[in-house]
Structure 1
């Protein structure tokens, strides 16, 4: 790897928002491999400390700050605190939430949560960091959106809504900062094996919803290894590229939609009709994937565990192991 230096010849600093697990942790490792010191933020302090402990074993300098990206003042405070030690040379926003289920089982709170985290999160973070970068005349910003932010994903409407907004913000921010020395890269990955199916939130017919989502999220050739995706994203951000689509599905989906939007709409409608319906008169209940998995019949649960072997391995490596670790074993992925 090419060595990089920051102010005064020291290692430069990268702030990874949502860096405690999954794709965020994988990207943090990639930045560390390229010579960066790290500042990680996430909502859960315990997750942050576990991630930092993993990174420090490899000799990486890491500081952690528990903060909710929905908290504008909190993000401003974290950025100010981090910059007391060194300027933030790279900002990578990865924080997100995934809610899976039919629209009939969703409510407005699901949309608020998705938009607050995955649209206001990038806005709050970038507006805190970018003026400082502009004042210095250089900086790299990466915002992880999704293929679901350019082509709507079935049974992921709150997620899709927020990601469409984040894609527009990220691409527009690049234009606004043109000529300032600060670049903004929009990362639009598709399915990745990060282990996040165990922590995604499921509504409606939760067991079958978990079965289709976790299987799709972990099939080789359809989903991508998280470390490979993170490497491509980090390379694109550091080189200042406008857009990166690291997974095959993302590239294919965008091109098909651009060439044949009506056909794409028909196909997505057909897929949606094949997915589980919401139970009649169901009470709105949202459970994490490791709980939804237990609502499958034993035979189906065993089949799903076998099909998601690679994702469960990724979960252990990327700090996605749930509080109920029995759901990550026995042995034997996600949109961003």
Structure 2
């Protein structure tokens, strides 16, 4: 019997790359995202290629929608072997320019979205005494990132969630793995939030990220998908992707210098 993977944020970017790779490896794929048209198109693409796929439009911020997602997946396939939490949002700007709604957008999507899927699926994995939970984290959950405070806050929380769950669940047959990439050349800019001291500052911040994404050496969604597959195949608890590794090492060896460089790089019109 084929194993089944449930992927959030599956309609594009990293999530889509993960779905394509796991389907190639023989997995049934359960695809979730808010964008139904892209989601159904991906499911049809997989089915046309001879793979089994179930698309369930889901906003992971809503626990009832997440419970429906899990219920439909279990009704279709009987079990879920791997959960990949990937849905997320990028938010950038000076800390004092974010509204409380901005904060909720970051925390509710990047953290609560993960908690909702884990809460809905964990009883099933505990009952079957087997399973794997993969949380797509970020270098921003390992290294403090100025001017990305809500984003970095959510990702540090995901790191803590991942590590504490792994400590508790590993004796029960469940592996919890964190994936830590640097910035990835994907479609995240469609949903990204940019704030600034004024409209020009916010626009400059968006252009700054777009310039970074244009650099050829920036990792691609397929690089993260391969890291996820490596983590699942070998039941790893942590996989650092590509350029995130030297960033982590540099911050550990020269933390003050790294933070100074980051502040100078990202402050734009902010004073200090």
TM-score, normalisation: structure 2: 0.91
SS of 1:240's equivalent? coil
My pick for the range that moved more, 190-199 or 145-154, is 190-199
Q: Secondary structure at the match of 1:60?
A: coil
Aligned 1:1-336 pairs, distance under 5 A: 10-85=1-76, 86-204=78-196, 205-221=201-217, 223-248=218-243, 250-273=244-267, 275-277=268-270
SS at match of 2:5: strand
Task: Tell whether the 8 Å contact from 2:12 to 2:187 is kept in structure 1 after alignment.
Answer: no
Q: Which has the larger radius of gyration?
A: 1
Mapped to 1, the partners of 2:124 and 2:174 lie a distance apart of 10
* SS of match in other structure, 2:170: coil
Query: Structure 1 CA distance, aligned partners of 2:119 and 2:87?
Result: 16
The separation in 1 between residues aligned to 2:207 and 2:185, in whole angstroms, is 15
Specify the SS of the correspondent of 1:83: helix
* SS of residue in 2 equivalent to 1:38: strand
Residue 239 of structure 1: how far off its partner (Å): 1.9
Contact 1:154 1:271 in 2 (8 A): no
- Contact 2:4–2:79 (8 Å) recurs in 1: yes
Render the CA deviation track for 1:163-195: whole Å, top value 9, x for unaligned.
111111011111110211110110011121113
Residues 3 and 80 in structure 2, CA contact (< 8 A), matched pair in contact too: yes
How far residue 276 of structure 1 moved from its aligned partner, in angstroms, is 4.4
1:73 CA displacement:
2.6
Alpha-carbon distance in 2 for matches of 1:238, 1:139: 12
SS in 1 for 2:7: strand
Partner SS state of residue 187, structure 1: strand
Query: Per-residue deviation at 1:34?
Result: 0.7
How much has 1:277 moved relative to structure 2? 4.4
Partner Cα separation in structure 1 for residue 182 and residue 2 of structure 2: 32
Deviations 1:202-221 (A, max 9, x none): 23333312211011123122
Name the count of aligned residue pairs.
266
- Output the CA distance in 2 between the equivalents of 1:207 and 1:53: 37
Q: 3-state DSSP class of the match of 1:68?
A: coil
In structure 2, how many angstroms separate the alpha carbons of the residues matched to 1:42 and 1:198?
Answer: 14
Q: Contact between 1:192 and 1:218, CA under 8 Å: does it hold in 2? A: no
**8 Å contact from structure 1 (residues 142, 185) kept in 2:** yes
CA contact (8 A) 2:89 2:188 kept: no
